[in-house]
Amino acid sequence: MLKGLTIDRPNQVWAIDITYIPMPKGFLYLTAILDVYSRFVVGWAISNTLDAACCLNLTREAIMRYGKPEIINSDQGSQFTCHEWIELLEKEEIKISMDGKGRAIDNIFIERFWRSVKWDYVYIKVPSDGIELYQGMKDYIDYYNHKLCHQGIDHQIPASLYKSVA
């Protein structure tokens, strides 16, 4: 659905994805939703499982806080193909876009976010437990959204760009 689409405003397209965060004993999973136009993180959550509940709750919270996007893009993971996910987006009248085979570029913005999270926070200040990870992510995303100038959006700050048009 994103192929050839000009993304020119906030809440036009959100990208959602999950990454793993290595911990001293196992992994925790970080889910985030990014507004593609502004690169503003509209929501994030940490979970110790990969079930769909985290994605569903996070999406509902982001919609309540920021309104709904026209399109939400994800990969084809089971969290994003389950009945509950499809039902939520259809109920909200949000178009569903999924990365197709060979279309990894569709979610490039959130993949770049994961790289930033891991290289600028996780690998430098390795969290020892979930509480430390939560607080570190809270601080990092505040910095990312409200202080970090992004080269990909003309050296603007995501929150400023998101709020200037939204």
Burial class (CB in 10 A: 0-12, 13-18, 19+), 12: middle
What is the distance, to the nearest Å, from the Cα of residue 40 to the centroid of all Cα atoms in its chain? 9
DSSP 156: B
Q: State the chain's mean pLDDT as an integer.
A: 91
Question: Judging by DSSP bridges, how do beta strands 41-47 and 71-74 pair with one another?
Answer: unpaired
CA distance 97 to 72: 6
Report yes or no: 59 and 43 within 8 Å, Cβ to Cβ.
Answer: yes
Strongest mean pLDDT among 77-81, 82-86, 100-104, 124-128? 82-86
Model confidence pLDDT, tens digit, residues 111-164: 899 999 999 999 998 899 999 999 999 999 999 999 999 888 999 999 999 987
pLDDT above 60 for 166? no
* Domain range annotation of the chain: 13-160
Fold of 13-160: Nucleotidyltransferase; domain 5 (3.30.420)
pLDDT reported for residue 121: 92
**What are the φ/ψ torsions at residue 21 (nearest 5 degrees)?**
-120, 115
pLDDT reported for residue 103: 56
What is the distance, to the nearest Å, from the Cα of residue 68 to the centroid of all Cα atoms in its chain? 14
**What are the φ/ψ torsions at residue 57 (nearest 5 degrees)?**
-65, -40
For 69, 104, 147, the CA distances from 112, given in Å and listed in that order, are: 20, 12, 17
